Amino acid sequence: MVTEILEALLKAALPLGVFSFLMFRWSLKSGRLQGGKGHRALRVEMKALRKTAKSKKAKSRNPLHNKWMKFGGGFYGLVGLWTFLVIEVLEIYDFITGYEGMDSLVETISATSFIGLGIEFLVNSFKNFITAIIWPGYWNGALDSQRIWIWAIMAYAGYRIGLKIALQLQPEKPPPEE
């Protein structure tokens, strides 16, 4: 059990902590979130942000942030986005390394219709999006663990620590002048 806790610390808590820190820090620095008033106020801000992310203006601004909001924001959304990125990167890696060399890859791409390749990419991305939405099932199968609850607790702890550090590093805003 100690080995699994250490593995969950390295493979779940650490990556999600760093990813949580980066996403919240970015949201705070860009002004999407204000922070500074505690976790409950941040939850209210996230809910409002999810609503505005559905508008057409918000969709064109930043695709990564919008994808996070599409997954629901917060912990669930962050793990959904992380899962989506992991799946996409692994598939790109498999696509590139599935060929004997760069020459074989270029031959295949040039022989295949770019339209067909584009359609295949879109369909695959949609399937990956659906898989990421139901990320608990994906990670349950991918981790092959009898103690999935350890992984969930470690992932949530990493998320909360990353969020807390991002909020603590936020510069104090001076009070409004009268």
Model confidence pLDDT, tens digit, residues 84-111: 888 989 888 887 777 666 666 666 666 5
DSSP one-letter string for 77-118 = HHHHHHHHHHHHHHHHHHHHHTSSSHHHHHHHHHHS-HHHHH
Give the count of beta carbons closer than 10 Å to the beta carbon of residue 41.
Answer: 13
Per-state percent for the chain, helix, strand, coil, to nearest 5: 80, 0, 20
pLDDT score of 17: 93
Domain boundaries, the chain: 2-168
Residue 70 has pLDDT above 60, yes or no: yes
Percent of the chain topping pLDDT 90: 11
Mean pLDDT in residue range 64-88: 84
Cα separations (Å) of 143 from 6, 19, 164? 14, 19, 27
Q: Where is mean pLDDT largest: 13-22, 28-37, 69-78?
A: 13-22
Stronger pLDDT, 18 or 29, i.e. the higher one: 18
From CA 68, how far away is CA 82, in angstroms rounded? Answer: 9
Lowest-confidence range among 28-37, 98-107, 169-178? Answer: 169-178
pLDDT score of 60: 47
Mean pLDDT in residue range 149-177: 81
From CA 90, how far away is CA 88, in angstroms rounded? Answer: 5
Mean pLDDT in residue range 149-163: 91
- Cα–Cα–Cα angle for 55, 59, 63, nearest 5°? 150
Percent of the chain topping pLDDT 70: 80
From CA 143, how far away is CA 11, in angstroms rounded? Answer: 10
